[in-house]
Amino acid sequence: MSMGGTDNVREYYRLITELDIGDVVRELLAGKITQESRQRLQCDCPHHQSQSHRSLHVMLDKQGWYCFGCGVGGDVLQLVEFVQSGVVTAGQSGPMPDSHRQARDFLAEKAGMPPLSRYGLTQERLEQTENDRLFEIRVKDALTELARYYHHRLKENSEALTWLKEKYAISDETIDDLLIGYADNESGVIASLRSGDNGFSKRELAATGAFRPTSQDGLNPFFEKRIIFPYWSRGRVVFMIGRKTPWTSDANWEQGKYKKTPCSR
- Give how far the C-alpha of residue 236 lies from the chain's centroid of Cα atoms, to the nearest Å: 2
**CATH architecture classification, 6-121:** Alpha-Beta Complex (3.90)
Sign of the four-CA dihedral 235, 237, 241, 247: positive
Position 10 scores a pLDDT of: 77
pLDDT band at 156 (very low <50, low <70, confident <90, very high): very high
Question: DSSP labels for 220-235?
Answer: EES--SEEEEEEEETT
Sequence-separated (6 or more) residues with CB below 8 Å from residue 59 = 39, 40, 65, 66, 235
pLDDT tens digits for range 175-197:
998 999 999 998 899 999 999 87
Q: Establish whether domains 6-121 and 141-260 are of one fold.
A: no
Q: Does the domain made of 141-260 have the CATH classification 3.30.870.10?
A: no
pLDDT tens digits for range 34-91:
999 988 999 999 998 888 888 999 999 889 999 999 988 889 999 999 999 998 887 5
Nearest to 145 by CA among 196, 100, 107: 196
Task: Give the start-to-end residue ranges of the domains of the chain.
Answer: 6-121, 141-260
